[in-house]
Amino acid sequence: DQQVKQNSPSLSVQEGRISILNCDYTNSMFDYFLWYKKYPAEGPTFLISISSIKDKNEDGRFTVFLNKSAKHLSLHIVPSQPGDSAVYFCAASAKTYKYIFGTGTRLKVLA
């Protein structure tokens, strides 16, 4: 049973446009969510996080939105740049030390 789902395995966006990556979860106990970015042959690196007490968190070009009633979060990248091309993972935690990761979305930003 996949508790964290990223239903789009890949996404292509033109440089300068907005990239929207989506993540759905099933466990209503999740209270902390993160997005990681991963380049080939490297480990994931932290991008942005959000606590369940918020519905939005912004950091530069990256904004994460959380809709608790829909059990949905999204990552917006504006404007998208070719260097943003990577695999993006969302992850969730339910008051524990453990995170459940989604399967990832491969973003390709076209120059």
Partner 1 sequence: NAGVTQTPKFRVLKTGQSMTLLCAQDMNHEYMYWYRQDPGMGLRLIHYSVGEGTTAKGEVPDGYNVSRLKKQNFLLGLESAAPSQTSVYFCASSYPLPGAGQGSTDTQYFGPGTRLTVL
DSSP-derived secondary structure for 57-110: EEETTEEEEEETTTTEEEEEESS--GGG-EEEEEEEESSSS--EE---EEEEEE
Q: What is the nearest approach in angstroms of partner 1 to the Cβ of residue 16?
A: 28
Q: What is the nearest approach in angstroms of partner 1 to the Cβ of residue 106?
A: 12
Residues that bind partner 1 (CB under 8 A): 4, 6, 9, 31-32, 34, 36, 41-46, 49, 51, 89, 91, 93, 95-104
Q: What is the nearest approach in angstroms of partner 1 to the Cβ of residue 103?
A: 4
Three-state SS at 85: coil
Q: Considering beta carbons, is residue 9 or 16 the nearer one to partner 1? A: 9
